């Protein structure tokens, strides 16, 4: 059974150069406004075995993680100088 590209990430693909299935390395090839193109290369001989286009909300890592907004510190409540004692 050959898996087709699309919904599943390929972890192993048939490499014609190696003559057998090999683990693949996924590499980000292009970033498009509509998605990303990932390329799969044989982990052994680095032959390009295929590409996968990722579109839509499946994109991960495209947006920087929202930074935690540090809250502005409330002004420290200072004790009022008591007048009258010193005056």
The reply on whether position 43 binds Zn ion by CB under 5 A is: no
Q: Applying CB under 5 A, does 18 fall inside the site for Zn ion?
A: yes
Give the count of residues interacting with Zn ion (CB under 5 A).
8
Secondary structure in 3-state letters for the chain: CCCCCCCCCCCEEEECCCCEEEEEEEEEEEEECCEEEEEEEECCCCCEEEEEEEEHHHCCCCCCCCCCCCCCCCCCCCCCCCCCCCC
The residue among 38 and 54 lying less far from Zn ion, judged by its C-beta, is 38
- Give min distance, CB of 11 to Zn ion, in A: 14
Which one of residues 28, 30, 32, 45 is an interface residue with Zn ion (CB under 5 A)? 45
Which residues contact Zn ion (rule: CB under 5 A)?
A: 15, 17-18, 22, 42, 44-45, 47
């Amino acid at each position: 059974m050959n898996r087709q590209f699309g919904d599943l990430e390929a972890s192993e693909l048939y490499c014609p150069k190696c003559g057998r299935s090999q683990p693949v390395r996924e590499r980000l090839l292009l970033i498009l406004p509509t998605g990303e193109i990932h390329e799969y290369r044989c982990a052994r001989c680095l032959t390009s075995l295929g590409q996968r286009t990722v579109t839509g909300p499946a994109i991960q890592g495209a947006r920087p993680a929202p930074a935690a907004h540090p809250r502005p510190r409330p002004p420290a409540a200072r004790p009022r100088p008591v007048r009258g004692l010193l005056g």
